[in-house]
Structure 1
Amino acid sequence: MFSYFTVVAANAALPAVIEKYKHLQKQKEEVQKLEAQLNSMPLNLTDYVTVKQQLNSAVTKFYQAVEDLEGTGVVLKSLEEGLLDFPSKRFDEEVWLCWKEGETEIKFWHEKDVGFMGRKPLSVSDESLV
């Protein structure tokens, strides 16, 4: 179910979100490992089919991990760059609370149609985020 995050709620959810994000990264690494194995060495048909089935399973688990992460209410913007957005509101405007891998709390936001480069620091005194 969709809901907007307050800064407090986003920060409260962040530890579980980060855990799910890290799990997603591991799933991606497994997919990449199996793709490399499938493409880099000559395999007999038996080995090829086995690795291909493992790859299919890994891809399924990867997308299940994406669903699990986004099931928390966040939106995965870039796995490669480590960007997640939490839907929020600033006054009556829909905005994103922005998290980048390595950050320990939500400290930035940006407009709905602006990406990471448009991030602005949260300021309790002059910003009103729901």
Structure 2
Amino acid sequence: MFTVVEAKIEVGRLLPVFDEIVALRADAAELGAALNSGVETGLGGMPEFKAAQARLDELMTLVQHTGAELKGFAPLLVDFPGELDGVPVLWCWLEGDRELGWYHRSDLGFAGRRRLPV
């Protein structure tokens, strides 16, 4: 369980990891498409594809070990379990966010996403 302050600190700490996941995801997609079609890419070949996959696995494991929940990969969506006014919530970070600014009740999911109270 994270307080909103703890979740914000964790997001700040993890932003470089999130950025690397997003960049590696794009590289892996391009490499995979090139390998499947036989079209060359400047990113490399099978060794680079396997290395990108291995690093992605490493980074996603690192995120999960913080207690955060990976909910989406494309776009990257990470939730941090918490509580707001006695109600279970997930502090919600979505790819493109530069800080934590959203939450949703645990039982509502992403459709119930709201801005954090001021």
- Determine if the TM-score, normalized by the shorter chain, exceeds 0.5: yes
Worse overlay, 100-109 or 6-15: 100-109
Match of 2:26 in 1: 29
From 80, 85, 95, the counterpart of 2:74? 80
Relative contact order (alpha carbons < 8 A, sep ≥ 6): 1 or 2 greater?
1
Match of 1:121 in 2: 115
Report how many residues are paired: 115
Cα distance, 1:91 vs structure 2:
4.2
Letter paired with 1:7: V
Letter paired with 2:31: L
Residue 95, structure 1, aligned to residue 89, structure 2: yes
Unaligned runs of 5+ in 2: none
Q: Against the structure 1 CA distance between its residues 52 and 17, is the aligned structure 2 distance closer, same or farther, given a 3 Å change threshold?
A: same
The structure number with the bigger radius of gyration is: 1
Q: Cα RMSD over matched residues?
A: 2.4
Match of 2:103 in 1: 109
Cα distance, 1:92 vs structure 2:
4.1
Residue 7, structure 1, aligned to residue 4, structure 2: yes
Give the TM-score, by structure 1 length.
0.73
Unaligned runs of 5+ in 1: 44-49, 125-130
Partners of 2:115 and 2:45 lie apart in 1 by: 46
Match of 1:58 in 2: 52
CA deviations 1:79-124 (Å, max 9, x no partner) are: 3233221110234442201122333432322121322220123335
SS in 1 for 2:67: coil
Partners of 1:16 and 1:103 lie apart in 2 by: 14
Identity %: 29
* 2:12/2:99 contact within 8 Å kept: no
Cα distance, 1:25 vs structure 2:
1.1
Partners of 2:15 and 2:22 lie apart in 1 by: 10
Cα distance, 1:72 vs structure 2:
2.4
* 1:24/1:65 contact within 8 Å kept: yes
* 1:17/1:72 contact within 8 Å kept: no
